[in-house]
């Protein structure tokens, strides 16, 4: 391989690894579940800072994406790192409800949105469209697998130093890691063409499909994707937030194993769905994943209500549900790039990503209300299953329409004339 091509390829992989590293750090939001018990001793409503962070994260993705499109990924990621670090430092100095809402909910939530918005776009620009799903899957898998290492780290720090010092340590570490990784994020040169296998020079790429957010909002596919994302992500988050409680029925104090397995499934789903969508198409993959998740939801109604459900069955259910939830986080970014291009990808996907935040907020609330009314998760799973079936049908409408070719009347010609005509064509 020529040195220049090798250098370009290595630069692209460097950006992918940097994006993966940033997402591994961004998973710090999941550490909240380990801190919730300690936070509950400070004030009532210990879950509110986390809920606020999720909502602010989703809403700030549009602003972060717009900044990424305008000034580039590096400054956007650095700002995100500083905001999250500042939020954790604020929490380390206060025991008040509103202090944690500001620190964890607003500052950390917005910082995660800015950093997350900057990790994927530059990585995609270094690789051809045929690898869009793979690259997205690798970059965002870090966010899914983060709980595997963050849970024991947070538990250790809490035991050694207490809540406030733990927040200070995590905040400083986050600033150092994210700002350091941000220095490796860079867009390719203006004349770079990934379709040309890494060569620079005048690009002979395929016709661009780059559109702005206003034009995207006039596209009916945006609303179909938004609703599908709302259903797929919201249904997954319903389970993710409840899996530890469900697993305690059969696993007892070892319920954390189900959480770890679900996290591994979450990360694997992002990569596998990305690769699969490159091979068989985004629509086919999304439809399959939504249908599979619906089947799991219906199966879960039996599993959680049966006292005979063993630890292996519960753990497998957690793994597959995490897998399906994770698939959403690679498929919808890939759809956004396919439909509306890379130029305004940050802003466009930020708007689409609002479905994740609204889905988390609405469906988790609905699940809590149904559980409180009926005394179990069975009704929630049934409602989610039906919604996922609707989402799968909506996904099918995204299939490309085949253009009908008009059939002309047969023309009878001499055999020699026909041969001559076919040769000239």
| Three-state SS sequence of 20-56 | HHHHHHHHHHHHHHHHHHHHHCCCCCCCHHHHHHHHH
pLDDT of residue 206: 39
Q: Which domains does the chain have, with CATH numbers?
A: 1-186 (1.20.1250.20), 210-399 (1.20.1250.20)
Whether pLDDT at 423 is above 50: no
Asked whether 185 and 119 are in contact (CB, 8 A), the reply is yes
Q: What are phi and psi of 90, to 5 degrees?
A: -60, -45
Q: Convert 249-311 into a string of H (helix), E (strand) and C (coil).
A: HHHHHHHHHHHHHHHHHHHHHHHHHHHHHHHHCHHHHHHHHHHHHHHHHHHHHHHHHCCCCCH
Q: What is the Cα–Cα distance from 237 to 153, expressed in whole angstroms? A: 23
Q: What is the per-residue pLDDT across 271-322, written as a single tens digit (0 to 9) for each?
A: 999 999 999 999 999 999 999 999 999 988 887 777 667 778 888 888 898 8
30 or 327: whose pLDDT is higher? 327
pLDDT of residue 163: 95
Cβ-based neighbours of 34, under 8 Å, separated by 6 or more = 150, 151, 154, 155, 158
198 or 286: whose pLDDT is higher? 286
For the chain, give the longest Cα–Cα distance. 93
Q: What is the Cα–Cα distance from 379 to 298, expressed in whole angstroms? A: 10
The token duo for 282 is 């985004």
Report the candidate in 353, 366, 326 with the shortest Cα–Cα distance to residue 57.
353
pLDDT of residue 7: 61
Q: What is the Cα–Cα distance from 55 to 52, expressed in whole angstroms? A: 5
The token duo for 274 is 């990305």
Q: What is the Cα–Cα distance from 294 to 291, expressed in whole angstroms? A: 5
Report the candidate in 65, 59, 19 with the shortest Cα–Cα distance to residue 346.
65
The single residue listed with the structure tokens 């702005």 is 212
Whether pLDDT at 194 is above 90: no
pLDDT of residue 51: 82
255 or 25: whose pLDDT is higher? 25
25 or 412: whose pLDDT is higher? 25
Element holding 103 (H helix, E strand): none
DSSP states along 183-235? TT--PPPTT--GGGTT--SS--PPPP----HHHHTT-HHHHHHHHHHHHHHHH
Whether pLDDT at 164 is above 80: yes
pLDDT of residue 331: 96
Q: What is the Cα–Cα distance from 97 to 280, expressed in whole angstroms? A: 49
Q: Residue 43: pLDDT band by 50, 70, 90 thresholds?
A: very high
Report the candidate in 45, 44, 65, 47 with the shortest Cα–Cα distance to residue 55.
47
Residue 349 CB-density burial (10 A; 0-12 exposed, 13-18 middle, 19+ buried) = buried
The token duo for 216 is 């995207």
Q: What is the per-residue pLDDT across 94-130, written as a single tens digit (0 to 9) for each?
A: 999 999 999 999 999 999 999 999 999 999 999 999 9
pLDDT of residue 401: 60
If you average pLDDT over each of 156-170, 204-218, 409-423, which comes out highest?
156-170
Q: Residue 61: pLDDT band by 50, 70, 90 thresholds?
A: very high
Asked whether 155 and 34 are in contact (CB, 8 A), the reply is yes
Whether pLDDT at 416 is above 80: no
pLDDT of residue 237: 82
95 or 207: whose pLDDT is higher? 95
CB atoms within 10 A of CB 110: 23
Q: Residue 157: pLDDT band by 50, 70, 90 thresholds?
A: very high
Average pLDDT of 122-142? 93
Q: What is the Cα–Cα distance from 372 to 24, expressed in whole angstroms? A: 34
If you average pLDDT over each of 17-31, 242-256, 368-382, which comes out highest?
17-31
Q: What is the per-residue pLDDT across 8-32, written as a single tens digit (0 to 9) for each?
A: 668 899 999 999 999 999 988 877 8
pLDDT of residue 108: 96
């Amino acid at each position: 391989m020529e040195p220049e091509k090798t250098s370009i390829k290595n630069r692209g992989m460097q950006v992918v690894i940097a994006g993966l590293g940033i997402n591994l750090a961004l998973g710090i939001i999941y550490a909240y579940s380990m801190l919730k018990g300690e936070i509950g001793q400070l004030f009532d409503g210990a879950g509110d800072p986390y809920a606020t962070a999720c909502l602010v994260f989703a809403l700030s993705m549009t602003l972060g994406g717009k900044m990424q499109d305008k000034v580039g990924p590096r400054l956007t990621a650095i700002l995100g790192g500083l905001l999250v670090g500042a939020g954790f430092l604020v929490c380390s100095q206060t025991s008040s409800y509103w202090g944690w809402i500001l620190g964890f909910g607003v500052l950390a939530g917005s910082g995660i949105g800015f950093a997350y918005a900057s990790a994927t776009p530059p990585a995609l620009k270094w690789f051809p469209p045929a690898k869009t799903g793979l690259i997205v899957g690798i970059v965002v898998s870090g966010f899914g697998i983060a709980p595997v290492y963050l849970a024991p780290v947070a538990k250790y720090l809490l035991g050694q130093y207490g809540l406030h010092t733990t927040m200070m340590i995590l905040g400083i570490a986050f600033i150092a890691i994210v700002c350091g990784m941000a220095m490796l994020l860079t867009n390719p040169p203006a004349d770079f063409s990934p379709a040309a296998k890494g060569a620079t020079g005048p690009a002979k790429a395929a016709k661009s499909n780059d559109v702005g957010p206003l034009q995207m909002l006039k596209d009916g596919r945006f609303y179909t994707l938004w609703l599908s994302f709302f259903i797929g992500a919201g249904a997954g988050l319903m389970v993710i937030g409840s899996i530890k409680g469900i697993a305690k029925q059969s696993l007892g104090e070892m319920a954390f194993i189900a959480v770890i397995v679900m996290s591994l499934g979450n990360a694997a789903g992002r990569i596998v769905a990305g690769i699969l969508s490159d091979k068989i198409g985004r629509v086919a993959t999304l439809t399959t994943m939504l249908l599979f998740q619906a089947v799991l939801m219906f199966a879960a109604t039996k599993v959680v209500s049966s006292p005979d459900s063993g630890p292996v069955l519960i753990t497998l259910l957690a793994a597959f549900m995490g897998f399906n939830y994770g698939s959403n986080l690679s498929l919808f970014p890939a759809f956004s790039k396919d439909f509306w291009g890379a130029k305004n990808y940050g802003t466009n996907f930020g708007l689409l990503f609002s479905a994740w935040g609204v889905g988390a907020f609405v469906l988790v609330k609905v699940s809590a209300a149904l559980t409180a009314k009926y005394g179990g998760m069975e009704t929630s799973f049934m409602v989610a299953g039906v919604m996922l079936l609707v989402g799968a049908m909506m996904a099918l409408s995204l299939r490309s329409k085949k253009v009908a070719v008009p059939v002309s009347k047969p023309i009878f010609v001499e055999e020699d004339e026909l041969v001559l005509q076919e040769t000239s064509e």
